[in-house]
Amino acid sequence: MADTKKIVVLAGASGVLGAEIAQALLRKKDIKVRILVRPESVSKLATLREQGADIFEIDLQQERNEKRYVDALQGAFCFVSALNGGKDIIVDTQLKILKAARQAGVRRFIPSDFSYNIFGLDDGDMILPSISGHATK
């Protein structure tokens, strides 16, 4: 019998938010999780691998071979980004992934640009939008 699980590809699973997303996805019985990870961070994801996640080694910032991006996303229904960083990651790297996702036929793309840098907050801080459109404490 063929595997009918939908593949969800996740980037950023070694971070705080990404680890939570990975755990939530792994609890879904109809989802197969593929995690994209830098080679030097593979050991951080041993528990996720033991729980059933597939690990695909790729350095999303350094990889120049577009086919590697497409290979990483092949067969996926959805890509989820939990990447954190500046323009080089949030814009440039995610744009490369988006282009590869289109080539690979990925139907859903959830980028990492709807959040605040959680490492710049103190416990209990509230984030309020200011008139200028920037978040303020």
Q: What is the mean pLDDT of residues 39-67?
A: 93
pLDDT of amino acid 95:
92
- Percent of the chain scoring above 90 in pLDDT: 64
Is the residue at 1 inside a domain? no
CATH number, domain of 107, equals 3.40.50.720
Per DSSP, the three-state class of 110 is: strand
* Phi (first) and psi of residue 3, to 5 degrees: -75, 120
State how far the alpha carbon of 95 is from the alpha carbons of 48, 57, 68, 75, 83, in Å: 26, 19, 15, 19, 12
Q: What is the mean pLDDT of residues 52-79?
A: 94
Grade residue 132 by pLDDT with cuts at 50, 70 and 90.
very low
Q: What is the mean pLDDT of residues 22-44?
A: 95
Q: How many CB atoms lie within 10 A of CB 57?
A: 14
pTM, two decimal places: 0.80
Grade residue 137 by pLDDT with cuts at 50, 70 and 90.
very low
**Tally of structural domains, the chain:** 1
**What is the per-residue pLDDT across 2-16, written as a single tens digit (0 to 9) for each?**
678 999 999 999 998
Is the residue at 63 inside a domain? yes
Q: What is the extent of the structural domain holding 69?
A: 6-136
Is the residue at 125 inside a domain? yes
pLDDT of amino acid 136:
47
The mean pLDDT of the chain is 86
